[in-house]
Amino acid sequence: YAKMFHIGQWLRDINLTVERLTQTLTRRIKSGQTELVDDDVDESMNNNNNNSKPSISIEDEIEMKKNEKISILKMLSMPETARKQQRYTLDIEYDDIYLLMRYLTSNRPFLKTFDVYLKQLAAIFQSEAGTNIRSKAMKCLCTVVEADPTVLARNDIKSCVKVGLTDKSISVREAAIDLIGRYIVQKQELILQYYDVLCERSIDTGVSVRKRVVKIFRDVCLTQPSFNRIPDICSRLLRRIHDEESIRKLVLETFQQLWFSPTRNQQDVRQRVQTIIDVLVDAQKQNYTWLENLVKEFLQTNDKQSIDDKKKVREQRKDVLKAIQDIINELVESILKIESANDQVSSNKMVATFIALYALGKAKPEHVLPHVSAIVEYLNIKCTSYNDNIIVQYVAKILEFTVPLMKSASASIIYSLEGSLTKLLLVSGQLVIHSSIACLSAVIRLSKNTQLVKDVFIRYHCK
């Protein structure tokens, strides 16, 4: 395209030069002046050659230009194969061609009108133009941004895009989302500039608009896992998990790639754990069950699936369980790190860590089993706050599905568990009692200590 554009400009310049030379020749013949090409005849040609090339007659110059035009037209009329052979004989690198094209373009008057045309394009969104025109204008703007993504940082373009994002037409809103979605992923400053409007469009009435926003959020999460808005993005994606089927599928694929795909990089695992904890902290005011439900989505099977689909699900399940094991190991490490800090933020993170352990461990209790000795210690913490009670509650829940696997556990560990859980039944509130009863039942089924059931019943009702 660039080659043909500049050839066209070349031919145009030749025609204009011949026309000027012809007019000059006519005037000079009438006035009897010498027939030489002066500096004012073809300024673009003579600027670089005044000292190196002698003047020639205007008639000769006209003839040279005509021959030059004929040569170009002959080249264009050559068969495609001949032109390809001719092209391959050129001893010039692609990068040099690119620089040459940019140089030639920079000398064109059209380049200096960029701002004029861009402002006219942006003005369409402030006018009463029809839906089709606004939609085409947004797609045209998308082409401009494709050539130079920094255009999105201009205030007039930001206003233009924001108007497009709130347009009454779904097609215009989708085109606006598509515009910013293509180019902001690699530039954090652009993500921050458009983040609020993207969040607003995540609940757009148009399915195609919501789906495009989800794709943008997915790309941000996967390409910039350390971006400080990732926890908030994940929270917003989770709210779309019960959306239209195509959006729901996209959300699940996003979380599988983000958290439950195989990785050998321990730093990636740490980043996943940190994000999960942050999202749980952010979602505490809503509910604690989203992670558990998310894991169920990845591990569930469907009898109606084809053989190929079932094979694919088995492979996916294997990858998910391996990722869960890595995350559980890192979560236990995180408990020890978080425990060293004594503030409200750390307390919230500790709660989130045990909730994550419960949700992931429930999917595969065997992965929690090696860490039981460390987890049991938290049954005996002093409950002085709401968060402390939540921690004890989830420790009991974790032990409830882990204890049945402790076939070779020592008598001292079982006895210690019975004592700790019995104490919790007698001194704790309703938040802890239900999970403690369920956990104690699992312990008694393992120890066969049925007498403890009677003793606890009597002590509980006689206290």
Looking at the domain assignment, is residue 265 inside a domain? no
User: In this structure, how many other beta carbons lie within 10 angstroms of the beta carbon of residue 149?
Assistant: 16
- Residue 188's H or E segment, with its range, is helix 188-201
Q: What is the rounded CA–CA span in Å between residue 221 and residue 257?
A: 10
Q: Which residues contact 334 (CB under 8 A, 6 or more apart)?
A: 273, 277, 349, 353
Torsion over CA of 196, 198, 204 and 208, rounded to 10 degrees? 180
Count of structural domains within the chain? 2
**In angstroms, rounded to a whole number, what is the distance separating the alpha carbons of residues 294 and 361?**
13
Residue 399 lies in a domain: yes
Establish if 458 belongs to a structural domain.
Answer: yes
Q: What is the pLDDT of residue 50?
A: 45
In a domain, 230, yes or no: no
pLDDT exceeds cutoff 60 at 459: yes
Cβ–Cβ < 8 Å for 390, 351: yes
H or E element in which residue 171 lies: helix 170-183
Global pTM reads: 0.71
8 or 438: which leads in pLDDT: 438
| pLDDT exceeds cutoff 60 at 63 | yes
Instruction: Tell me the average pLDDT across 334-347.
Output: 82
What's the whole-number mean pLDDT along residues 313-325? 89
Residue 334 corresponds to which tokens in the numbers above? Answer: 């995180």
Greater pLDDT, 414 or 37: 414
Crossing angle for the helix pair 290-299 and 344-363, to the nearest 10 degrees = 30
* Predicted local distance difference test score (pLDDT) of residue 86: 56
Of the residues 73, 107, 141, the one at which a domain ends: 107
Cβ-count burial 377-386 (b if 16+ within 10 Å, e if not) = ebbeeebeee
Q: How high does pLDDT run on average in the chain?
A: 82
Least confident span in 69-73, 90-94, 159-163, 276-280: 90-94
- What integer is the mean pLDDT of 351-364? 94
Predicted local confidence at residue 145, as pLDDT:
80
Residue 313, pLDDT > 50, answer yes
Indicate if the pLDDT at residue 359 is higher than 90.
Answer: yes
pLDDT of residue 272: 93
Please check the confidence at residue 183 and state whether its pLDDT lies above 80: no
pLDDT band at 1 (very low <50, low <70, confident <90, very high): low
- 28-32, 74-78, 230-234, 283-287 — most confident range: 230-234
Q: How confident is the model at residue 41 (pLDDT cuts 50, 70, 90)?
A: very low
Q: Is 179 within 8 Å of 158 (Cβ atoms)?
A: no
Domain residues for the domain of 71 are: 2-107
Contact yes or no for 277/349 (Cβ under 8 A):
yes
CB-count exposure of residue 288 (10 Å: 0-12, 13-18, 19+): middle
Q: Over pLDDT 90: what percentage of the chain?
A: 28
Contact 421, 460 (CB under 8 A): no
pLDDT band at 52 (very low <50, low <70, confident <90, very high): very low
Domain assignment present for 190: no
The whole-number pLDDT of residue 47 equals 46
Give the Cβ contact number of residue 81 at 10 Å: 8
What is the DSSP secondary-structure string of 237-286? HHTTTTS-HHHHHHHHHHHHHHHSS----HHHHHHHHHHHHHHHHHHTTT
* pLDDT number for residue 42: 46
pLDDT on residue 393: 94
Domain C-terminal end among 61, 76, 107 = 107
Q: Which of 107, 125, 140 represents a domain boundary (last residue)?
A: 107
Question: Coil, strand or helix: which one is 381?
Answer: coil
Eight-state DSSP code of residue 90: -
Of residues 124 and 362, the one with the higher pLDDT is 362
Residue 387 lies in a domain: yes
DSSP letter for 96, please: H
Vertex 404: Cα angle to 401 and 409 (nearest 5): 120
Give the separation between CA 196 and CA 180, rounded to whole angstroms: 13
* φ/ψ of residue 50, rounded to 5: -60, -35
Does residue 391 sit within a domain? yes
- Checking if the pLDDT of 427 tops 90, the result is no
How far is residue 173's CA from residue 162's CA, in Å, rounded to a whole number?
Answer: 9
Q: If you average pLDDT over each of 90-104, 128-142, 216-230, which comes out highest?
A: 216-230
Residue identified by tokens 């940019």 is 102
The share of the chain scoring above pLDDT 70, in percent, equals 82
pLDDT in tens, 254-303: 999 999 998 888 999 999 999 999 999 887 656 678 898 899 888 887 66
Residue 98 located in a structural domain: yes
pLDDT per residue as tens digits for the range 76-117 = 676 665 555 555 444 556 666 666 666 666 666 766 777 888
pLDDT range class, residue 134, cuts 50, 70, 90 = confident
Q: 58 near 37, Cβ under 8 Å?
A: yes
Give, in order, the Cα–Cα distances in Å from 280 to each of 146, 169, 181, 287.
37, 36, 27, 9
The residue to which tokens 């429930």 are assigned? 362
Residue 218 has pLDDT above 90, yes or no: yes
Number of other residues whose CB lies within 10 A of the CB of residue 249: 11
Q: Are 164 and 134 in contact (CB under 8 A)?
A: yes
Q: Which of 42-46, 278-282, 366-370, 446-450 has the highest mean pLDDT?
A: 366-370
Sign of the CA dihedral with 21 first, then 27, 32, and 33 last: negative
